[in-house]
Each structure stands twice: as structure tokens, then as C-alpha cells.
């Protein structure tokens, strides 16, 4: 079982929920989570322990978001294809992906995103505006580039597999 499949299981991404998550609204609104978490916990000096309410609400939104929206009217857009590509990638232990996609780039991009997250957490603890901006930026650059590679993977695979092709509408 791939790590990505384990993460998908945490978010309860079955066939129907994957299609809900491929809704562009799901993808784009999910980008709101990290800044809201940073802001929520940053606000602890202004509102004390009350900062847990927006912080936990942001975390709740992160888990609810993939299943909150309906299936998209069309999956022929960048955001939908990025999610479908993630689904293809997590399924690589069952359906082989082309050699060009078997690269350490995906791991590197996830590492960049993770470093950004850690930097953002550090910035929250030490009230570093520049650390927060840099951390969130790194997290989003890594994630966005990763998602772009997932679009490429999906486009490479959709015509070679009937199930993948059925997601294209």
C-alpha cells in the first residue's frame, strides 16, 4: 500500500469522494487552509486560548473539504486533473506508471512543501512574519508544482486505462 493511499484512507477518499474532491472548488478552497491556520494560531497573543476555535475550525475544514463539494460538472480543467493524477499516482502499486514519472521529483516537491510547513510552524511559535510568508510560500510552491506534475501524469495515463478514461468528462 502506497503512502498516498494511506493518506487517502484518512480522508475517506473512496471512488465517490475522489470525484467530489476533483471539483475545482475543493482544490482551490483547500489552498485557504494553511494561511488560516497560521493566522489563527498567530492570534493567540490577541485572543489567548480562543485562537483554538479558528485553528481547529481550519483543521476541520481541511478534513471536510475533500468530501464537501459535489462531483464537478467537468473534469477537463487543471484542478480536477491534478486530483485525478494524485489518484493515479497512489494507484501505482497496482497499475504501473510510465518511467518518465518514476522520478524523485515528486518526493523532492513534497519535501519542499513539508519544509515550508515546518517553517510556517516555527514562524507561528516565534512570531516571524518573514518566516510565515516564506513557509507558506514554500509549502504552496512545492504543492502547486507537485499538482502540476499530477496533471501531466493523469494526461499520460488516461488513454491507457478504461477506469482512468471514465474520469474524463
Domain coordinates in residue numbering, the chain = 3-166
pLDDT digits (tens, 9 = 90+) for 21-57: 999 999 999 999 999 999 999 899 999 999 999 999 9
Categorise residue 48: left if φ over 0, alpha if ψ from -120 to 50, beta otherwise.
left
Whole-angstrom Cα distance, residue 131 to residue 124?
A: 8
Could you read off the pLDDT of 52-76 as tens digits, one per residue?
999 999 999 998 999 999 999 999 9
User: pTM higher than 0.85, yes or no?
Assistant: yes
Task: Please state, as a whole number, how many other Cβ atoms lie within 10 Å of the Cβ of residue 130.
Answer: 9
Confidence tier at 4 by pLDDT (50, 70, 90): confident
Amino acid at each position: 500500500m502506497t503512502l498516498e493511499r494511506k493518506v487517502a484512507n484518512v480522508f475517506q477518499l473512496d471512488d465517490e469522494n475522489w470525484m467530489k474532491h476533483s471539483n475545482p472548488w475543493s482544490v482551490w478552497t483547500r489552498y485557504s487552509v494553511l494561511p488560516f491556520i497560521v493566522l489563527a494560531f498567530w492570534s493567540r497573543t490577541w485572543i489567548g486560548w480562543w485562537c483554538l476555535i479558528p485553528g481547529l475550525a481550519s483543521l476541520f475544514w481541511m478534513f471536510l473539504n475533500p468530501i464537501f463539494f459535489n462531483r464537478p460538472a467537468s473534469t477537463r480543467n487543471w484542478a480536477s486533473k491534478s486530483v485525478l493524477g494524485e489518484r493515479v499516482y497512489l494507484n501505482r502499486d497496482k497499475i504501473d506508471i510510465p518511467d518518465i514519472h518514476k522520478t524523485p521529483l515528486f518526493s523532492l516537491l513534497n519535501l519542499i512543501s513539508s519544509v515550508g510547513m515546518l517553517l510556517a510552524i516555527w514562524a507561528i511559535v516565534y512570531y516571524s512574519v518573514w518566516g510565515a510568508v516564506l513557509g507558506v510560500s514554500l509549502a504552496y510552491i512545492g504543492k502547486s508544482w507537485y499538482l502540476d506534475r499530477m496533471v501531466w501524469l493523469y494526461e499520460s495515463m488516461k488513454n491507457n486505462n478504461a477506469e482512468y478514461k471514465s474520469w474524463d468528462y
